[in-house]
A and B are shown apart, each in its own frame.
Chain A
């Protein structure tokens, strides 16, 4: 912008050998683009790659408050050793895997079934309204979701407890019960996301050739048979893809939600990596162990996704894509 240099490739650079000059000349010709890109690049360097770099440093150091990252001492793999030896953290790791596996087991199939139902629904207008309704909870924050769950499950005034009492059953302290914590956590997450999760399947379903359904119908296949013969094979790649991504989140158990839902009474079953890192790592200043746990979490996630892709490719022949 500053210097009005002609943007077109000028004919004034015949000095150097052609092959060598081309890349440099291409870079020079695109200098305005690089300038435009600068803010984005700075963002990624400062807020994405600087944390990644710090993670790899701090995880192998003993960072103390008031001491800079570079002044603190290297401790090798000590932080990782702590992570696998401290019974509290081991419990946290186990909880994390259990909760996210539960989330997958409970939450994976309902959206698929719902999407197939939406797809097969014969009434177009009604379908649109119903879809709008089931998508709504996705756009509420976890704080709001907690408020709604509280309205239904709180001991003194919750709707569910009111119903229980009306049926002559005792009230249940849902939020303080170790047995009820996970069902409520996972149930409310399912309620929030079931509608929205159908979107990816609906997009895949809309690409299935209508002639296939026609052919199946003429061959005498009923609605259920059509699901297994046409619909499911049609969305299998997307199903594998979503499964792979959710397995990649195996060490991410939804900390933001748990942070709102949990309390001291259910800490043993509720504490996961994210909540632990926030509570112990950040608030109680165990920076280095917290960073090591976070690094481990991120690495496992990446490895699982890449491995899932490779496996899917090997066994289904087409990969998850």
Chain B
């Protein structure tokens, strides 16, 4: 027993060290970039560009960047697309998910199949470009919004979420004569708000980080989002270092590297601002939701479309401990109003996987024996 606990301690020390190292390697580059962005040109040259903590930090690079109309303009474009995009996405996702969550809807399985199939198969770069061209979106702000307006995974996550809302709520609203719109607005949306917020935040970051669509669909540089301008500033084969040169021309006190790093920091800051909010949603099963989505899709593609069967049992086990936000409320609570007769202790124990429970039992028994 002694040697065992020594082994445990050694193991803990080793994994602590490794994990600390990984975390440090995730953060150090950021600190280095920030340090670089604050260094003066003379210090750079004096220290041979080997600066981690600048001795005489300067905000000159940020002043240069802030004074650039190109950067400001692209910043505004990025902010616009990162607000308009997620708002549209959320609207369509909520409506689509609500409709697809209605188990009695004829054709629901077909809709689902066609939506989920797009996860596995897409037209590719050139056909998508042709469609954007044919819809007249080339050189339009909307080319960065409309083609990625609905994310099938997100739609699916919200749909599962709505399906797992306690039936009692929606039923009583129906009895009160609520139509679909008021049902969606007054009952489903408030309840699904956390899940929608998660989708919206991830979507926001995706929009903020996106540059490839701008490269594809925009010739008009005045519509470039920030990441696209940063790309032009940073890449080696830079076609248009013009904004960069313009920024440097007026200043001799900072080097190109400093300016580049300041640009990187400007691109990062908004993400870091959203990050704490994003973090709340990590564990809430965004990811497992997508796993379920694919599982669902493969089930659909294999055994035809189980429209009717679905009404009885969804294709995945319903009480899912993996996904707290997607797990349905316990049926015992939703079926009846919480009354005083029903004490928490009277609730039946949660059903566990029989296999795991059985295999763990001998150990538990041995524990009891060893104690006595």
CB <8 Å contact, B216 and A147: no
Of A10-18, A88-96, A255-263, which stretch is located at the interface?
A255-263
Residues of A within 8 A of B150 (CB): 40, 43-44
0 or 1 for each of B267-296: is its CB under 8 Å from A? (1 = yes): 110011011001100110101100100110
Question: Does B334 lie at the interface of the complex (its beta carbon under 8 Å from any beta carbon of A)?
Answer: no
Please give the distance in Å from B8's CB to the nearest CB on chain A.
6
CB <8 Å contact, B125 and A40: no
Residues of A within 8 A of B303 (CB): none
0 or 1 for each of A49-68: is its CB under 8 Å from B? (1 = yes): 11111110010000000000
CB <8 Å contact, A294 and B111: no
Residues of A within 8 A of B131 (CB): 46-47, 50-51, 54
Question: Does A264 lie at the interface of the complex (its beta carbon under 8 Å from any beta carbon of B)?
Answer: yes
CB <8 Å contact, A147 and B120: no
CB <8 Å contact, B279 and A134: no
Of B56-64, B202-210, B242-250, which stretch is located at the interface?
B202-210
Q: What separation, in Å, do the CA atoms of A132 and B181 have in the docked complex?
A: 39
CB <8 Å contact, A218 and B92: no
Q: What separation, in Å, do the CA atoms of A281 and B129 have in the docked complex?
A: 11
Residues of A within 8 A of B69 (CB): none
CB <8 Å contact, A203 and B127: no
Please give the distance in Å from B289's CB to the nearest CB on chain A.
10
Question: Does B338 lie at the interface of the complex (its beta carbon under 8 Å from any beta carbon of A)?
Answer: no
CB <8 Å contact, A58 and B126: yes
CB <8 Å contact, A136 and B27: yes
Of B10-18, B165-173, B192-200, B339-347, which stretch is located at the interface?
B10-18
- Please judge, given known A-B contacts A130-B23, A135-B279, A175-B236, whether A222 and B298 are in contact too, CB under 8 Å: no
CB <8 Å contact, B126 and A224: no
The residue in chain B whose Cβ has the minimal distance to the Cβ of A294 is: B124
Instruction: Give the most central of B15, B150, B263: most A CB within 10 Å.
Output: B15
Q: What separation, in Å, do the CA atoms of A258 and B270 have in the docked complex?
A: 24
Q: What separation, in Å, do the CA atoms of A154 and B111 have in the docked complex?
A: 50
Question: Does B70 lie at the interface of the complex (its beta carbon under 8 Å from any beta carbon of A)?
Answer: no
Residues of B within 8 A of A118 (CB): 19
**Pick from B29, B130, B181, B257: contact of A1, CB under 8 Å:** B181
- Please judge, given known A-B contacts A47-B146, A54-B131, A191-B25, whether A151 and B126 are in contact too, CB under 8 Å: no
CB <8 Å contact, A218 and B367: yes
Task: Name the prevailing secondary structure of the A interface residues.
Answer: helix
CB <8 Å contact, A54 and B4: no
Please give the distance in Å from B254's CB to the nearest CB on chain A.
13
CB <8 Å contact, B363 and A30: no
0 or 1 for each of A101-144: is its CB under 8 Å from B? (1 = yes): 00000000000001001101111001001101111110111111
Please give the distance in Å from B229's CB to the nearest CB on chain A.
9
Residues of B within 8 A of A282 (CB): 125-126, 129, 216
Question: Does B305 lie at the interface of the complex (its beta carbon under 8 Å from any beta carbon of A)?
Answer: no
Question: Does A82 lie at the interface of the complex (its beta carbon under 8 Å from any beta carbon of B)?
Answer: no
Residues of B within 8 A of A218 (CB): 363, 366-367, 370
Residues of A within 8 A of B115 (CB): 44
CB <8 Å contact, B49 and A156: yes
Instruction: Give the most central of B129, B211, B216, B352: most A CB within 10 Å.
Output: B129
Residues of B within 8 A of A58 (CB): 126-127, 130
8 contacts between A and B (CB under 8 A): A33-B105, A37-B100, A130-B22, A147-B261, A209-B356, A209-B360, A214-B363, A215-B363
Chain B interface residues (CB < 8 Å from chain A): 4, 7-8, 11-12, 15-16, 18-20, 22-27, 29-30, 32-33, 36, 44, 48-50, 92, 95-96, 98-100, 102, 104-107, 111, 114-115, 118, 120-131, 135, 146-147, 149-150, 155, 177, 179-181, 184, 205, 208-212, 216, 227-228, 230-231, 234-237, 257, 260-261, 263-264, 267-268, 271-272, 274-275, 278-279, 282-283, 285, 287-288, 291, 294-295, 298, 301, 321-323, 352-353, 356-357, 359-360, 362-364, 366-367, 370
Other A-B pairs beyond A222-B4, A260-B235, 11, CB < 8 Å: A37-B100, A54-B123, A55-B127, A141-B210, A144-B267, A162-B48, A212-B356, A298-B124, A301-B121, A306-B301, A321-B298
8 cross-chain pairs, A with B, having the tightest CB-CB distances, nearest first: A215-B363, A294-B124, A51-B123, A141-B209, A147-B264, A40-B96, A223-B11, A157-B49
